[in-house]
Amino acid sequence: MISRDPTLFAKRKRANLFGLTFSLVAMSIGMIFLLWILAILLFKGFSAISPALFLEISPAPGTPGGGLANAIIGSLLMVFFCAFLSTPIGILAGIYLSEYGDNNKFSQVTRFVTDIMLSAPSIVIGLFVYAIIVYQVKHFSGWAGTVALSLIAIPVVVRTTENMLKLVPSTLREAAFALGAPKWKVSLTVVLRAAKSGVITGVLLAIARVSGETAPLLFTALNNQFFSTNMNAPMANLPVMIFQFAMSPYDNWVNLAWGGALLITFAVLGINIIARVALREKVSV
C-alpha cells in the first residue's frame, strides 16, 4: 500500500489553488477590458444607428446628417468578390495538401508559405498589392482591395481545409477506392463532403477575418466619398471610412464612425456564431 505524504499533498493543493486563482484573475482582467470596450461601443454606436445610416452616403465635412450607405455597399462588394476568389483556391489547395501532398518538397514549401501568410501583418500584404497592382495601373481600385483581402483569406481557408480533411477517417477513402472510384472523385465527393462543415467554417472565419481589415485597403481601395459600384475605381469601405471619420474634428463624422464600428462588430460576431454552429454539425457522408 502506497503511503501519502501529508506535507507533499498540502503543498500540491496550495500550488493548485495558486494556479486556479492566477488563471481566474487573468481571465477576469481580460474580460473586464473586453466588456468595457463592448459597453462603450454599444453606448456610442447605438446613438448613430438610424435608417439614414443605411440609406444615405457619407456627408461632406461639417455637414449634418448623412450615412454610410456607400461604405457598406463597397465593403460588401469587396468581401463578396474576395470570398468568390479565395474559396475555390483555398479549398483546392487544402485538398492537394491533404490528399496528394504528403511530404513532397512542393507541399512543404506551400505549407511554409501558408504559415508565413497567416502570421504576416496585413499592412505588408497591402503594400505588396500596392506595388504590383496600384503602382502599375496608377490608380486605386476595388479590385486591388479584393486581391489584398483574398491574400489574407486564402491561407485561412487552405489551413482549415487541410486540417478538416485529415480528420476524415481513412476507412471512407478505402471504401470508395474499393468500389473503383478514382482518387480525384474520392477527394471531391467523399472526403470533401464528409468535412464540409469544417470547410464551411474555415470560409466563414476567413470572411470574418477580412471584414474589418483597414491597413490593406488604405493602400489598395483607398476610399470614396460618393456612391459607386465601379470596382475599377477607388471604392468606399467601412474600415477606412471609420478610420478617417474617427480621426476627424467633426462630431457628425465621429458619430458615424461609432455606428460603422458597431456594424462591423455585429457582422463579425454573427459570422463567428454561424461558423461555430456549422462546426458543431456531425460529419456525414
How much is the mean pLDDT over the chain? Answer: 90
Q: Taking the mean position of all CA atoms in its chain, how far away is CA 113?
A: 18
- Kindly state the DSSP code that residue 142 receives in the 8-state scheme: H
**pTM for the full model?**
0.87
Contact 213, 78 (CB under 8 A): no
Is pLDDT of 284 > 60? no
pLDDT digits (tens, 9 = 90+) for 223-242: 998 999 999 999 999 999 99
| 159-174: burial string, b at 16+ Cβ within 10 Å, e else | bbbbbbbeebeeebbe
Reported as a pLDDT band with limits 50, 70 and 90, residue 281 is: low
Is pLDDT of 243 > 60? yes
Which residues have CB under 8 Å from 160's CB, separation 6+?
A: 94, 198, 199, 201, 202, 203, 205, 206
Among the residues of 47-139, which ranges form H helices?
51-55, 69-95, 105-119, 122-129, 135-137
Contact 284, 197 (CB under 8 A): no
CB atoms near residue 27 (< 10 Å): 10
**Which residue carries 457628425 as its cell?**
252
CA dihedral (185, 189, 191, 195) in degrees, to 10, reads 150
Measured CA to CA, the distance from residue 223 to residue 134 in angstroms comes to 14
pLDDT digits (tens, 9 = 90+) for 59-113: 988 888 899 999 999 999 999 999 999 999 999 999 999 999 877 888 989 999 9
Contact 106, 95 (CB under 8 A): no
pLDDT of residue 27: 93
pLDDT of residue 142: 95
Amino acid identity of residue 26, one-letter, is: A
Domains of the chain: which residue ranges? 6-46, 53-279
Domain range 53-279, CATH architecture: Orthogonal Bundle (1.10)
pLDDT digits (tens, 9 = 90+) for 116-175: 999 899 999 999 999 999 999 999 999 999 999 999 999 999 999 999 999 999 999 989
Contact 160, 278 (CB under 8 A): no
Q: Which three cell numbers stand for residue 105?
A: 518538397
